[in-house]
Amino acid sequence: VSLSMRQQDLLPNRLEAAKEVVSEFVSRRTGDRLALVIFGSEAATLVPLTLDNGVVEAFVRRIVFNLVPGDQTAVGMGL
């Protein structure tokens, strides 16, 4: 959710485009444990490891800017 995700080189912006790709990925992962971590300047785990893909997809839909500070991109913290 860093500031770069607000760029509109993908419509409507990079964040919404990424959410679509992630949702499609999650829907195809039957039987796999998934977790959801967002990051900007800091990282936050939104969903710990789970087999419930519906929960992961629901949280993906709810991702918005400003859930964590986003003036930088701390990909290392996200990983």
The mean pLDDT of the chain is: 95
- Whole-model pTM: value is 0.89
Whether the pLDDT of residue 75 is over 90: the answer is no
- Structure-derived torsion over alpha carbons of residues 64, 41, 29, 25, reported in degrees to the nearest 10: 60
Residue 61 has a pLDDT of: 98
pLDDT at 73 (0 to 100): 86
